[in-house]
A and B are shown apart, each in its own frame.
Chain A
């Protein structure tokens, strides 16, 4: 039997890997994608990669304070943090995503990190989403995570996170990083659940009990999420069967 070779994508910022990184000695299963800044990495791109069977993704950005675009790397950091939350919620090991700071001159370090990452991915083994029989439930989770990451609510929060932490909020009060992170945790989780419910009810109308089993939370909480989704025009009552209401997703504008 052949040894497992993980499929890995490495996003490399054009500035921190200014030397033609394509020329560097990296294993053949690592594909390097060059971007202008680590801050360009849209969360949905990374999630998309995982749904398509990538075993690991690594993002290279300039060390703190050295970003060519002032703060792009810092934004990347926030996004990766959120992505890791979403991956954990999806049941996908968040170590399959890594963010590394690197300077243009540290070629050796670059290859070393890549090798290390490849090694780690080999230990983790094949992604549950890759191979012949991808984990269907996790695939749904990833789809939910993807639409959550595309949703206005998460984008606006993660987009403003750095600014809020640096400058304080609009009332001129400092924003505590721990508190903000806790709030973000809560919101990421809520959005993930709602988008999963949305995904599931797009297929067919479903009951709360069914959804609770899929999502793995109490029906009372599912009800709360559904009512919030209703408020936002994501879902509507489809019909009532006996004493059980069935809900169906609405296409979000």
Chain B
């Protein structure tokens, strides 16, 4: 008998994928247990310096997600944990977990770090990849979530110093490992990957030559919080290198090692590391990348690659490096390689090995405990049409454990897995979560300001430098301050209680905390004052740690004076604070999906499974999009059968309204409250919906080159597929030309799927007619991930792969009625002529020409190539910057079916975080317009990047109105308003003036 389902999910692995899955689930009404074997979450991404292709600092973009995860009331973090047993079935699992002791009481530890400063024992810091040391009591990195210290029991000698030092009394030497059983409805696996052990490639000398480092070590070297503080230094002598070699494919594409697959991300991170290294090195730095193929197949990755070559002067050498030796007298390295058939040697100061991804160390154990299947490489086994499902129902998977992949794809898959995990237990939404209730808000508008000030010692972090009691005494004398006190840790749980008590006792109506950064702590204190019945915006913070005790640690008096200045100035602002209302908006629990290809249909089904109604609008008369033109697949599945199944499911689903041969012509409104017009069968229909998903797909490029359209023997890959399927293709000699309409001067980016397409068709030709000669003329073979297996298989079957570059493109001519292809053969260095029966062009996948119209209608941006541009290329792959609008599939960029499906599920998951709520509480700091002052000049409308200003007519006058749901509170509109009609709450001119005047006061009077 099936037991009742449970509205909770276990996410295994707290890297960026696990974090994303957990946030989506928790934001959609499910309880989440996020378990990680490390003492903190963040995974490999937390170790990275910058990320491609935006060069964003990894920690800067990850930290907000870490903080959101750590603070989420419905995410229960289990660090130092592992899964040891599983019972039950999909919808109702019992998971047994073990948690290693931290020897620290997580409730009590404030993360002040005093213990680590005083700990006499040092250990190798594995977070810095062993390049530096840490103390035996430690956190992995400064932004660790949870910010709880841990004792390294292997290294700790048990001297007891930390216990003496810890003022929070958080040290528990007798804490034991513990076990627990969790009841969950579904499970998501996101255990990530294990970096390849470079020692196994002994010919490159890693482990023997100190100046040969791995790419992940190099990330730490580049990082400002890394072992060398962001200076690029040689480990052998601390000198700054002048010449660095990057060796690609170390532990990837290597049949000797059995790691035949491509690790998918290394080309890009290798290029990025070279670019960033040049930025970090003050002198001239030469970077050379030794590669087999540059696989810059992602969105705008080729732009990045081209910039690396042209702007950053990075040298690329197509060669597999044979070996590396060291000159012991200098520590320099000799790299041996073959270029243009010539053996060469070159000397470098440093060598970086771009190491590949291996399955996580515990993959086999995890598979055994959970009863899931692994593939031949011991990654998780998934199917093309169910990319986030394991072999066991109810257990889903995402990230690098599925196959090596980069961050945005991991994030998209994570959201996708979250959608699948949710739909299984959609009926239990909201049942396991905590709903927070607040006391009614006190009306303080007529009261004189009564301010309470809380000054934090932060252990000795602040108190060791800044004279905290002096700051408290100073604050007490300032106007409107009725109470001030010092706290050992203002952020601790017991202090929150004290703040609430003091608000009552002294009838406080404003609270100021002088402590650390609002970035991490403001939400906590706002919550506290709200719990005491005050509006959360009657709170203000002074950062006397970062701005005083940290930057002026050698000048305690000045630090104290500055702390007083900051407190005085923040108090001046606090006096003027007004309560702000967080706008509450209703949500229409309906989705609109534009595009009925595999992505649109998948997203529609996922939303329907979550219980939401969906309008699915497709321009063609038939659903299926691109997939309708696919007849066979590399991986062997039958695309027709899968498509029919999907269409049937969509058509039969009562919650999905399908509009074929239809078009969305108008969209208005905002998140939760859209109104759209659909033209269907000549009629206009208006629908209301809470979200939009853009799944408009892409189209095949119509070639103009290589005699296409002029000679019927020149066809595209898709036409070839058609012909083969119909049994009409006969040829003894076929030449395929890659990158037609892609990677050219005008269209610099890669179309991603054509290499796979060419390999697929070449294998098919070899299957039906093994004696046919197939030549593939390519720039780089971009068969990333496990697709590398098919590349190798094609080569084994005799398909000839010949490299060309833009400088020497092949020529296709018609010579007396015969097709002739002329190309340069780089290994034998000769011009070759072939007279093939057919020339097949790998025509690029290009943006849907309708994208421009859709983008304007939705007020969302396109890339310069014409694909839709997501909110953030790394961490928000399926969101638009405008709330409530999402994208997936080829509308985003060319991609394979499994990737489109994962993204479609992801878009559905992101949409569910909105649709699952009856109402949305928006940020209270928004702009507002004084209609009497507004001249209707529209400057604000033009300036607002979020489309949050609309012009409305009232009593014959057109004035600006702020759509609060869209306003992000930047205040740019108000700064430009010629009549000063716009004000930004919490940052009014009056408030800012008061703050800056008070900041300058001492200096002026002195």
Contacts and interface: CB of A to CB of B under 8 A. Distances in A.
Tell me if chain B binds chain A.
yes
Interface string A212-238: 100000011011101110111100010
A219 B229 CA distance: 18
A240 B285 CA distance: 15
B241 interface: yes
Interface in B113-158: 117-118, 120-122, 132-134, 157-158
Interface of B: 117-118, 120-122, 132-134, 157-161, 163, 173-174, 210, 227-229, 231, 233, 235-242, 282-283, 464, 553-554
A224 B283 contact: no
A227 B240 contact: no
Interface stretch (A7-15, A83-91, A105-113, A241-249): A241-249
Interface stretch (A43-51, A120-128, A136-144, A153-161): A153-161
A232 B282 contact: no
Contacts of A166: none
Nearest to B160: A170
19 contacts: A152-B118, A154-B120, A160-B159, A164-B158, A164-B159, A168-B158, A170-B160, A173-B158, A183-B157, A208-B237, A219-B238, A223-B235, A226-B238, A237-B229, A240-B282, A243-B283, A245-B231, A245-B238, A253-B554
Contact of B233 (A154, A173, A223): A223
A203 B235 CA distance: 25
B233 A160 contact: no
Given A228-B133, A231-B132, A180 B157 contact: yes
A187 interface: yes
Contacts of B118: 152, 156
A214 to B, nearest CB: 14
Nearest to A225: B133
A159 to B, nearest CB: 9
A154 B161 CA distance: 12
A43 to B, nearest CB: 16
A197 to B, nearest CB: 12
A170 B132 CA distance: 27
A238 to B, nearest CB: 12
Contact of B120 (A157, A170, A171, A251): A157
A180 B239 CA distance: 35
Contact of B117 (A160, A171, A232): A232
Contacts of A175: 157-158
Contacts of A190: 122
A228 B236 contact: no
A219 B236 contact: yes
Contacts of B241: 243
B173 A219 contact: no
Contacts of B283: 240, 242-243
Contacts of B158: 164, 168-171, 173, 175
Contacts of B235: 220, 223
Contacts of A153: 120
A209 interface: yes
Chain A, interface size category, equals 35 or more
B240 A244 contact: yes
Contacts of A242: 283
B802 to A, nearest CB: 42
B163 A170 contact: yes
Main secondary structure of the interface of A (DSSP, over half): helix
Interface of A: 152-154, 156-157, 160, 164, 168-171, 173, 175, 180, 183, 187, 190, 208-209, 212, 219-220, 222-224, 226-228, 230-233, 237, 240, 242-245, 250-251, 253
Contacts of A164: 157-159
Nearest to A222: B238
Nearest to B103: A171
A130 B173 CA distance: 49
A224 B159 CA distance: 24
A251 B132 contact: no
Contacts of A154: 120
A154 B120 CA distance: 8
A240 B121 CA distance: 31
Contacts of B174: 171
B205 to A, nearest CB: 15
Nearest to B349: A243
Contacts of B227: 227
B120 A220 contact: no
B229 A243 contact: no
A165 B184 CA distance: 48
Top 8 closest pairs, chain A to chain B, by CB: A169-B158, A219-B237, A208-B238, A223-B238, A243-B240, A170-B158, A170-B173, A170-B160
A220 B133 contact: no
A223 B237 contact: yes
B330 to A, nearest CB: 12
Given A187-B120, A228-B132, A243 B160 contact: no
A55 to B, nearest CB: 33
Nearest to A152: B118
B132 A224 contact: yes
A183 B120 CA distance: 11
Contact of B160 (A160, A232, A237): A160
Contacts of A169: 157-160
A194 to B, nearest CB: 11
A231 B117 CA distance: 9
Given A156-B161, A160-B159, A228 B122 contact: yes
A94 B191 CA distance: 55
Contacts of A183: 121, 157
Contacts of A251: 554
B173 A171 contact: yes
Contacts of A220: 210, 235-238
A187 B155 CA distance: 13
A230 B283 CA distance: 23
A52 to B, nearest CB: 29
A244 B157 contact: no
B101 to A, nearest CB: 11
B681 to A, nearest CB: 71
A183 B123 CA distance: 12
Contacts of B239: 208, 243-244
Nearest to B116: A231
Residue among A175, A220, A224, A227 having the largest count of chain B Cβ atoms under 10 Å: A227
B18 to A, nearest CB: 30
B589 to A, nearest CB: 53
A240 B160 contact: no
Contacts of B233: 223, 245
A80 to B, nearest CB: 20
Residue among A183, A245, A250 having the largest count of chain B Cβ atoms under 10 Å: A245
